Amino acid sequence: MKPNIGIPEKDREAINQGLQKLLADTYFLYLKTHNYHWNVTGPLFNTLHLMFMTQYTELWNALDLIAERIRSLGYPAPGTYKAFSSLTSLKEEDGVPKAEEMLKNLVEGHEAVIRTARAILPSADSGGDEVTTDLLTQRLDIHEKTAWMLRSMLE
């Protein structure tokens, strides 16, 4: 049964497609951040280890919010590595980078998620989807703040 929630189907589909990309980007960023938490070394080990844990925990919790919004719009949420790999705009790297490179990679990852989230706003606005707009606004706030904090560590 299709949802009858006051959002036209073409708008729901466009929002869904954007949210699927956001989910994939968020998952890839979660995985990268968790990987860095496990593998960071150097003089800032404790600071970065704890910071990465805070960040990957936040990302993990966001995954459920995004997936449930996709379901609320009447679509299945992607949930496989194959699906995420085809949807994400983030790049994986080989090996374990040094701590400073980890910070740079995470800045780039958060900025990519920001661009993905921002690209969904016109569809949400067009469809009158205030719930998705609210979700996106919250995600943008978190990712922009996190990117700023990570950039500050590189100065």
Mapped onto helix, strand or coil, the DSSP state of residue 154 is coil
Map out the domains of the chain with their CATH numbers. 22-153 (1.20.1260.10)
Give residue-wise pLDDT tens across range 112-149: 999 999 999 999 999 999 999 999 999 999 999 999 99
pTM, to two decimals: 0.96
46 Cβ contact partners less than 8 Å away, ≥ 6 residues apart:
none
Higher pLDDT, 1 or 140: 140
Compute the distance between CA of residue 125 and CA of residue 47 in angstroms, rounded to an integer: 40
In this structure, are residues 135 and 69 in contact, taking their beta carbons and an 8 Å threshold? yes
In this structure, are residues 5 and 107 in contact, taking their beta carbons and an 8 Å threshold? no
- In the predicted model, is pLDDT for residue 9 greater than 90? yes
Residue 93: pLDDT band (50, 70, 90) is confident
- In the predicted model, is pLDDT for residue 87 greater than 90? yes
Compute the distance between CA of residue 138 and CA of residue 53 in angstroms, rounded to an integer: 20
End-to-end CA distance of the chain: 53
In this structure, are residues 29 and 102 in contact, taking their beta carbons and an 8 Å threshold? no
Q: What is the pLDDT of residue 2?
A: 86
Q: What is the pLDDT of residue 54?
A: 98
In eight-state DSSP terms, residue 129 is -
Please report which helix (H) or strand (E) contains residue 42, including its range.
none
Give residue-wise pLDDT tens across range 16-71: 999 999 999 999 999 999 999 999 999 999 999 999 999 999 999 999 999 999 99
Q: What is the pLDDT of residue 84?
A: 97
In this structure, are residues 9 and 2 in contact, taking their beta carbons and an 8 Å threshold? yes
- In the predicted model, is pLDDT for residue 1 greater than 90? no
Q: What is the pLDDT of residue 75?
A: 97
